[in-house]
Structure 1
């Protein structure tokens, strides 16, 4: 499974390298599309049939909270624009995509936003389960630390047997930083994303421990040997070390670029679009 993580890390590095790159790269062949409506960001990823990234778009946006779209028109506008940019970058006609939802929330919320862009939703899956599918996990747990929620999926013998969500995530880390340093929320958010000194980590370590306690309660009766982390919050300096310290008998593994793992997994779960119609004139 670690070898699989190494392969996925290469895909994540490729996705990161092309984020919001509109350079025209004409593509011909089947492809897959995933749209991830997160609390802190919205991402659209296009993959080839082997899950290699072809396009990746990200907008930081406060339009979703705890799995509920609080700015429907804003979310629709961002998704339409990302799909347009991906189509023009690759010279393809996107007709369908996969989307996701936090466990325990209504999937129709995400479906409605994607369909507003005029495309079909071919698949919908909860966020941690999409990661479990991408990594081909047999016996493990996936913990998705999102902006507003923490999703936990338990996998046994290759099947998801439990998937739950808790209302805590990166948003709460930002609030803690804002309170401690007397910062505006936006300033604290930037500190969280950009800190590489460990200063932010020192302040928010108790919040990370609380997240770990919630996960402990969910996995107690299953005892998975490994936990795989995903979500942009995991990129915080020191996060993985602090989270892993709460699980002395369980291995904790984080990808190299956790911000892009769930969007990549959603796209990988998508049905393949038909051979695109080239529009290169």
Structure 2
């Protein structure tokens, strides 16, 4: 594997983990790496490193190390995936499905990765855009990248949404539900899992459509190919009071856009995958066993 020489650092925005950031920058410099730190006010007390914008990081570095939880890595991934910059996550969150490097092993794990001892994994991302009612496709805003999921839901919790689902030009169904989750394989362990969606191996090129609290119990999750185009069209009475309909498209739980009756959310596979860097020996199923507590309480232990 090719060693890394120019490393970007992105930290958790609200509560930066300064000791880990300090150790991280020290290890990187001891390995002869150029260190570029995101110019983020939340990291004003972080260790010295050349401060650059997020866009400059995407243009200038060979690797970005993200300190935080999966949410921090999702935010960084939407910026780095289009530039084909790989990400390595240092987990200081709760679950850590994607940020799998532990702070206590930081020095030895980072040294190995920098010298070219690592595994790479490309994961499909989603591309989402809103098509306004009565507008043309040419009028639509540029699509947004989603690493985990694109969610249609009603922010007014007392009322369900009515909406149509389509795959390409093929009508799927009319739904009455609290909303719909469209997730990537990466996002299948996130919100979609809580909604009863299937786990999908990250090597798949596929999307899962997971209804949120559907009125009809037979309205179940389905999986479609990653080459398909999925569209959700918001239904209802155009005269409905705005207090009753507060439809929203949410991306990765971090970006939201309001919707009106007749608006559509279109989701396709993103142009460029998210590239993750893992220490040698990484196992997706080991992550699932650990995070989802599979097999706990059983005495038998499977060793390879």
Name the TM-score, length of structure 1 as normaliser.
Answer: 0.30
Report the structure, 1 or 2, having the larger strand content.
Answer: 2
Larger RCO, structures 1/2 (Cα 8 Å, 6+ apart)? 1
Higher Cα radius of gyration: 2
Report the structure, 1 or 2, having the larger helix content.
Answer: 1
